[in-house]
């Protein structure tokens, strides 16, 4: 796994990132070229044209992110529109392609766990778009700048999201799942239409609830291993919490799992499916 450490001003971070990840960025462009051709009927030149709609707005409203993307492009010997296209990939393919990630938060008396299986293509929603708002992946970047979940939620609600997304925002005091569209910002999961685009979503939600409820009966406390094990569940395979299924773009499945304990500021990333771990990376954050 590529490990890149960047520091400095936005332009310095971007340049370091672009140079170190040049090969990986190129592979991402190759993959999303195929994806957009399949889901949005656009070739890469057309995708760059769509990205151009966001170019001026991002540079005017969020210049620090734009500066960083400019220098990622510089470092990778690409045009800035290539990098913007990758950052607005959710907006370009919105409502036309689905992943099946499973996430869970757990607040105990002395611990605050959050975890997710990230499901996507092995090679690598409610409809609506408003290009005057912040693209989803820049919204995720915004979330990383604060240590308080409530501050993040207020910031995201203020700027608004350009398209649809679900975000699980948490800190050591608790978590909140946000359902966001270009017209709605919902903390209580009311008022956002659910089109039912992925048939096994309801099944996986009910399964993770059942597993968590059963584990919650344990009065001796929750261990890291017990929480992590929730994501290595195969009921309903191949469309299970730990998933692996053929798609029109090749095999799709759980590419990695991440579990964080926010009180202790520690995270474990397991690359590969939770049942077939290829590599383990531990992250720690100083106070």
Backbone angles phi, psi at 25, to 5 degrees: -65, -40
Give the pLDDT mean for 190-209: 68
**Residue 32: inside a domain:** yes
pLDDT at res. 192: 46
Give the pLDDT mean for 105-131: 70
**Residue 2: inside a domain:** no
pLDDT at res. 125: 39
Identify whether residues 109 and 199 lie together within a single domain.
yes
- Cα(65)–Cα(201) distance, rounded to whole angstroms? 33
Give the pLDDT mean for 267-279: 90
Identify whether residues 233 and 186 lie together within a single domain.
no
Question: Structural domain tally of the chain?
Answer: 3
Domain range enclosing 136: 132-194
Residue range 245-269, pLDDT digits in tens = 766 555 567 888 999 998 888 999 9
- Using only C-alpha atoms, the chain has a radius of gyration, in whole angstroms, of 19
Residue range 32-79, pLDDT digits in tens = 898 888 777 889 999 899 899 899 999 999 999 999 999 999 999 999
**Residue 1: inside a domain:** no
Identify whether residues 107 and 204 lie together within a single domain.
yes
- Whether the predicted pLDDT of 94 surpasses 60: no
pLDDT at res. 98: 44
State the average pLDDT for the chain.
83
**Residue 148: inside a domain:** yes
pTM of the model: 0.72
Strand order in the sheet with 174-180: 165-171, 174-180, 185-186
Identify whether residues 106 and 189 lie together within a single domain.
no
- Cα(241)–Cα(231) distance, rounded to whole angstroms? 6
Identify whether residues 249 and 259 lie together within a single domain.
yes
Asked if 129 and 94 touch (Cβ cutoff 8 Å), the reply is: yes
- Whether the predicted pLDDT of 100 surpasses 60: no
Q: Residue 132: which residues within 8 A CB-CB, separation 6 or more?
A: 57, 162
- Cα(84)–Cα(73) distance, rounded to whole angstroms? 9
Identify whether residues 204 and 106 lie together within a single domain.
yes
- Cα(96)–Cα(125) distance, rounded to whole angstroms? 8
Identify whether residues 184 and 200 lie together within a single domain.
no
Long-range contacts of 206-215 (CB under 8 A, 24+ apart): 207/233, 207/235, 207/236, 207/240, 207/241, 208/102, 208/104, 208/233, 208/241, 212/104, 212/106
pLDDT at res. 250: 58
Cis peptide before 254 (omega within 30 of 0): no
Identify whether residues 271 and 285 lie together within a single domain.
yes
**Residue 30: inside a domain:** yes
Identify whether residues 54 and 121 lie together within a single domain.
no
Alpha-carbon separation of residue 42 from 49, 52, 73, 250, 251 (angstroms) = 10, 14, 22, 19, 22
Pairing of strands 244-247, 185-186: unpaired
């Amino acid at each position: 796994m590529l490990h890149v450490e960047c520091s400095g001003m936005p332009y310095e971070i971007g340049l370091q990132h672009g140079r170190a990840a040049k090969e990986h960025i190129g592979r991402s462009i190759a993959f999303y070229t195929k994806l957009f051709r399949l889901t949005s009927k656009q070739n890469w030149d057309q995708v760059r044209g769509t990205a151009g709609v966001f170019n001026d707005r991002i540079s005017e409203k969020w210049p620090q992110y734009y500066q960083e993307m400019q220098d990622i492009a510089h470092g990778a010997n690409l045009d800035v529109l290539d990098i913007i296209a990758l950052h607005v990939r959710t907006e370009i393919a919105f409502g036309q392609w689905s992943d099946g990630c499973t996430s869970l938060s757990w607040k105990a008396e002395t611990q605050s766990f959050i975890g997710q299986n990230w499901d996507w293509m092995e090679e690598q929603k409610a409809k609506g778009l408003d290009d005057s708002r912040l693209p989803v992946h820049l919204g995720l970047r915004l979330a990383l700048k604060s240590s308080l979940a409530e501050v993040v939620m207020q910031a995201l609600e203020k700027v608004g999201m350009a398209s649809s997304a679900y975000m699980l925002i948490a800190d050591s005091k608790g978590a909140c799942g946000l359902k966001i569209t270009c017209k709605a910002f919902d903390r209580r999961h009311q008022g956002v239409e659910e089109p039912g685009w992925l048939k096994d979503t309801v099944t996986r939600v009910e399964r993770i609830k059942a597993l968590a409820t059963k584990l919650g009966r344990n009065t001796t406390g929750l261990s890291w291993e017990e929480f992590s094990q929730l994501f290595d569940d195969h009921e309903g395979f191949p469309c299970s919490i730990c998933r692996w299924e053929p798609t029109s773009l090749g095999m799709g499945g759980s590419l990695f799992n991440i579990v964080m304990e926010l009180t202790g500021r520690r995270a474990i990333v397991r690359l590969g499916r939770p049942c077939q771990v290829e590599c383990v990376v531990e992250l720690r954050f100083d106070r």
